[in-house]
Chains A and B, each alone.
Chain A
């Protein structure tokens, strides 16, 4: 059973294109996240989202937008892709109200912009 899944696993595309990455969690969690991991393995939070609030990291360009059709899904849409967007994108989820705030990560989507 995959707790947090992402599709696609790999994405190769041209500069200027628009693309989406999908994320689904079957843990019943109410909060989901998107992270970006660069080539030096730095992990940076991009968004956290539950049905009450969206928290956006102020450094994220507005070309990136999260879209949540329901509690179990948080997709990431990227407009006008740039070379610098090449990275691994991780989705994660957690449950509010638990003091631990442990996050469960998906396997990642490797995006390469040519």
Chain B
């Protein structure tokens, strides 16, 4: 079964607005990563947050991690039409160095 569940499944916003996506997972983790997938393409790594970190920034991306609630959020600020894509969280379980387990993904549509 999927490790992670993402919420919402789909999100539609206007250009310039912020987009927030949430991810919940079930087991203890080593780190949590967010990936982006444009339609018909492969996944691209966006950002990684380790289990001992609570917040991380990269450009217009902000990721938070709450290990007590087993949840993470990805915030994209000042969204652009080019941000339209599917966004996936992926966890590396504790003790498992390489096995990424993906969430179900959020389809983000940014309207111009």
Are A and B a genuine interacting pair, yes or no?
yes
Q: CB within 8 Å of B: which residues of A?
A: 4, 31, 33, 40-45, 48, 55, 90, 92, 94, 96, 99-108
A-facing residues in B88-112 (Cβ within 8 Å): 88, 92, 97-102, 104-105, 107
Contact of A105 among B42, B97, B98, B99 (CB under 8 A): B42
When distances are taken between beta carbons in the complex, the residues of chain A under 8 Å from B107 are 41
Contact of B98 among A4, A94, A106, A107 (CB under 8 A): A94
Q: Say whether B101 contacts A45, CB under 8 Å.
A: yes
Q: Does B81 contact A (CB under 8 A)?
A: no
Contact of A55 among B31, B99, B102 (CB under 8 A): B99
Q: Say whether B104 contacts A101, CB under 8 Å.
A: no
Q: Say whether B98 contacts A96, CB under 8 Å.
A: yes
**4 nearest interchain CB pairs?**
A105-B42, A43-B102, A105-B43, A107-B42
When distances are taken between beta carbons in the complex, the residues of chain B under 8 Å from A41 are 37, 86, 104-105, 107
When distances are taken between beta carbons in the complex, the residues of chain A under 8 Å from B33 are 102
Q: Does B45 contact A (CB under 8 A)?
A: yes
Chain B interface, number of residues (Cβ within 8 angstroms): 26
Inter-chain CA distance A14–B97, complex, in Å, is 38
Known: A41-B86, A42-B104, A105-B44. A48 touches B98 (CB 8 A): yes
Q: A48-B99, A90-B43, A103-B45 are in contact. List 20 more A-B contacts (CB 8 A).
A: A4-B42, A33-B98, A41-B37, A41-B107, A42-B104, A42-B105, A55-B99, A90-B42, A96-B98, A99-B50, A100-B31, A101-B92, A101-B97, A101-B98, A103-B43, A103-B100, A105-B42, A107-B41, A107-B42, A108-B42
The distance from the CB of A109 to the nearest CB of chain B, in whole angstroms, is: 10
Inter-chain CA distance A99–B88, complex, in Å, is 20
Q: Say whether A100 contacts B48, CB under 8 Å.
A: yes
Contact of A101 among B31, B40, B42, B101 (CB under 8 A): B31
